[in-house]
Chain A
């Protein structure tokens, strides 16, 4: 399913990856690979994210205290690093979400008049 390159894949907007990660972790703890998969699935494979680029973002968010991590055994009984949302992360997500909505509405209004 991954081999057939969809025609209309979109590049990620600058600075939105953090928000997507936070949104994904809202459903519960997840390891790095799982976060990547979840984003791809929920975007119906349209978002083009380099898998590797998730990790610096995860570490940055962790350093900022938005998410916390813990080593646990995964479903496949492998050791994996699970990330979860912290209270600060939850707050950050809420504010990013409302900013994002405003941005989308504003851009859409401008584009409609064009």
Chain B
């Protein structure tokens, strides 16, 4: 644009020079034929013609006019907006809300799914994901797309598309010893990890080839841990730290600002081969040495593209390499995806986020639509005021295209102002939201994507709300408008009908959003009132990292026994042990029931290992039989307590007590005898009962969690921490209240309901403004008619009723449209409703009532104005 402008400026100067040249030559000729110089110059100028006109004409030839018209339209638009600040403020604010909420959601989306890592050359860092198809069996630790060490080495050695590759794995259970043991997050990495991510060291060095080839106890600290635990000790390099009972020498501290590749910054990095030493606490089926395990996925892999290589070229080559590897596993087909590493790179979770995100984007899109419909209504109402002005300009010879251009320039100015304000609002909201999200690495500052999105949205909005009013306003109806018969001219009635249609649309959209919110709230209320079947209040779960501290079964048993005894004695409470914490995890095994039809098949069934007191502590009611005795639990006798649902599933109509079933994996089946039946609980999802479930006595070989219920309601976190610390200061103790677990379980639902309420409320507020505006317009249009009716003796209440009926008609049409739409949407997404019935009558009724009331109120306010009409004035001037 600027260059074009400069070009125009240059052409202007050239033309001046050409004209001067012509005048000079011509005058020269005249002088030569005997004229005086002054007379010659004057004659030449006269003969030449009107210089200004010629310049104008020439400029038009280069398209200079387009720019001039634009500047003129912009000036004109600015003047119009200044003249009606009420309209301008309403329109800009409405659009700002619409664009703002869209931009905010898009920002989150963009950050999570599209923005490259905030490191050097982030966009060229690719993640490598494998998806297996065909017949295959594979073990994994992490997610199914992860690589085995062998696979990573093959890709690394044979690819020609990446300049460097690195693999890494997160370690979940890592305890840093000290005066107060602390859980730290660690990442095992290959040698080139820091190289690929372009991260330097603040102190010391990163890992050497030897350290990443064979197990060496060395570590690189993250900035946060270095500052927090070691007070930014400048001499930290060379010192040792104790992790899970092993000593590690610190060789470096990562540069500040490096936040790893995921949602949270790792505290510490360790070389990959060290894996067996820090992951000793895994239950038996997992291999001891992950690096040696074949066909075992546990590594995330990243690579930096060589210059001029694209992601799809890289993918093609890796697919070729994967096909070669598949030769060793008949029937298996590996599909490799290579895509830029983002905040959320796991392809499965990314797909889930994309689906959920699209739903949310659709909802916020509807809000913007409502905002646009509103502004369109405002423009239509304003069109009455401008009808004369437009008609005068049309009859003076302005073309329709020229007027359209001007009106659209006006709406674009409004839209861009609204968009800019919306972007600012979105940034404010996101900055607030970021502090609440608790995700440290979430960077929600606007990038080019977000800016482009906001701009695009604003321009689309300006067309959405500006085009129809512009077309309407410039429809020539000169005679009527000039004679000021606007209010009875046919197309005015039509215009208010168009306004009514927009209101219907807004109301329909409000219906869908509010009913969605209503259903979510209903589901949420259900969850809160719901009895999960086990006690939640005053219950605490304490997890201990005994295996990481090299406790064997004998020592673990003793530790748990001592801990439970001391907690119970000191706090006057009851404690028990459990393998799985309700609402925090699930465990399932195959089950075969003796004497059943299909006795050879294993049916996947949920299970838990618990100590004898578990049912008492959590208040899980016994229906039949008995629970474990302490002796049975201690010996690990082959007995089981089953849930009511399991009893119903296998022994319906008979007593389940004394029956036997087998459980485990084929070849390693254990037998258990049913000694009791307990009530069904909801330990996995609050929305539904667990289904068939059985409990077996806990063995101290597997990690167990202590569950404690305080009778007094006194918080127990401190007491439990202190007692455990007295028993062994090296053990990491984490105490969580069950209420907090419950809160976490319902957090996404609460977030969803909150968002839906917010959007529904926003749409409703916008629609109310729209209804208000259209009714006010209606009243101002009908002043004459109202005057006539009043003069003929109509009661004020009659007039009010008539206006309200007119105003509410589009609202009712909108609801008639919106209710079935909402029902359809609810039925289609019933799985997201937290167990609320998709056609829940209370939600539908409440929303319908609420919407009607708000709409009635929004139209009542301007309708009152009709009552103040003075019949005489209305008849004379209306």
Contact = CB atoms under 8 A, between A and B. Distances in A.
B22 A33 contact: yes
A51 B49 contact: yes
Interface residues of A, number: 23
B21 A31 contact: yes
B25 interface: yes
Contact of A78 (B19, B24, B61): B24
Given A59-B58, A63-B62, A81-B14, A32 B51 contact: no
Contacts of A55: 15, 18-19, 22, 54, 58
A80 B21 contact: yes
Contacts of A74: 21
Given A51-B22, A51-B47, A79 B17 contact: yes
B33 interface: yes
A51 B11 CA distance: 19
Interface string A43-58: 0000000111101100
Interface string B31-63: 001000000000000011111011001101111
Contacts of B26: 33, 51
A54 B15 CA distance: 12
Given A1-B33, A32-B22, A59-B62, A52 B49 contact: yes
B61 A33 contact: no
Contact of B61 (A1, A59, A76, A80): A59
Contacts of A41: none
Most chain A CB neighbours (cut-off 10 Å) among B22, B51, B58: B22
B33 A33 contact: no
Interface string A8-47: 0000000000000000000000011100100000000000
A66 to B, nearest CB: 12
A62 B48 CA distance: 21
A60 interface: yes
A112 interface: no
A109 interface: no
A62 B50 CA distance: 21
Interface string A70-87: 010010101111000000
A53 B22 contact: no
Interface string B1-37: 0000000000100110111011011101010010000
B54 A33 contact: no
B51 A52 contact: yes
A60 B61 contact: yes
Nearest to B19: A55
Nearest to B11: A59
Contacts of B11: 59
Contact of A52 (B28, B30, B33, B48): B48
A36 B15 contact: no
Contacts of A2: 30, 33
Nearest to A35: B22
Interface size class of B (residues with CB under 8 A): 20 to 34
Contacts of A76: 25, 28
A31 B50 CA distance: 20
Contact of B17 (A51, A59, A62, A81): A81
B49 A53 contact: yes
Contacts of B62: 59, 63
A32 B18 contact: yes
Contacts of B61: 56, 59-60, 62-63
A52 B54 contact: yes
A23 B813 CA distance: 70
B19 A52 contact: yes
Contact of B58 (A31, A56, A71): A56
A50 B19 CA distance: 13
A40 to B, nearest CB: 11
Given A33-B22, A51-B48, A56 B17 contact: no
A62 B61 CA distance: 9
A56 B64 CA distance: 13
A40 B28 CA distance: 17
Most chain A CB neighbours (cut-off 10 Å) among B17, B28, B61: B61
Contacts of B58: 55-56, 59-60
A1 B35 CA distance: 12
Most chain B CB neighbours (cut-off 10 Å) among A55, A60, A62, A79: A55
Contacts of A78: 21, 24
A76 B58 CA distance: 26
A50 B48 contact: yes
A56 B57 contact: yes
Interface in B660-703: none
Contact of A32 (B21, B49, B50): B21
Contacts of B53: 52
Contacts of B22: 32-33, 36, 51, 55
A102 to B, nearest CB: 28
A56 B58 CA distance: 4
A59 B21 contact: no
Nearest to B30: A2
A52 B21 CA distance: 12
Contacts of B49: 50-53
B636 to A, nearest CB: 94
Nearest to B47: A51
A63 B57 CA distance: 13
A62 B58 CA distance: 11
Nearest to A74: B21
Contact of A59 (B15, B25, B30, B50): B15
Interface in B191-215: none
Contacts of A63: 61-63
Contact of B21 (A33, A50, A60, A62): A33
Contacts of A62: 61
Contact of A56 (B24, B30, B54, B63): B54
Nearest to A75: B25
A71 B25 CA distance: 16
B18 A81 contact: yes
A100 B49 CA distance: 28
A2 B34 CA distance: 12
A23 B71 CA distance: 38
B57 to A, nearest CB: 4
A30 B242 CA distance: 90
A81 B48 CA distance: 18
Contacts of A36: 22
A78 B18 CA distance: 11
Given A59-B61, A78-B21, 5 more contacts: A2-B30, A32-B18, A60-B61, A62-B61, A81-B14
Interface of A: 1-2, 31-33, 36, 50-53, 55-56, 59-60, 62-63, 71, 74, 76, 78-81
9 contacts: A33-B21, A33-B25, A53-B49, A53-B54, A55-B22, A56-B57, A59-B62, A74-B21, A81-B17
Interface of B: 11, 14-15, 17-19, 21-22, 24-26, 28, 30, 33, 47-51, 53-54, 57-58, 60-63
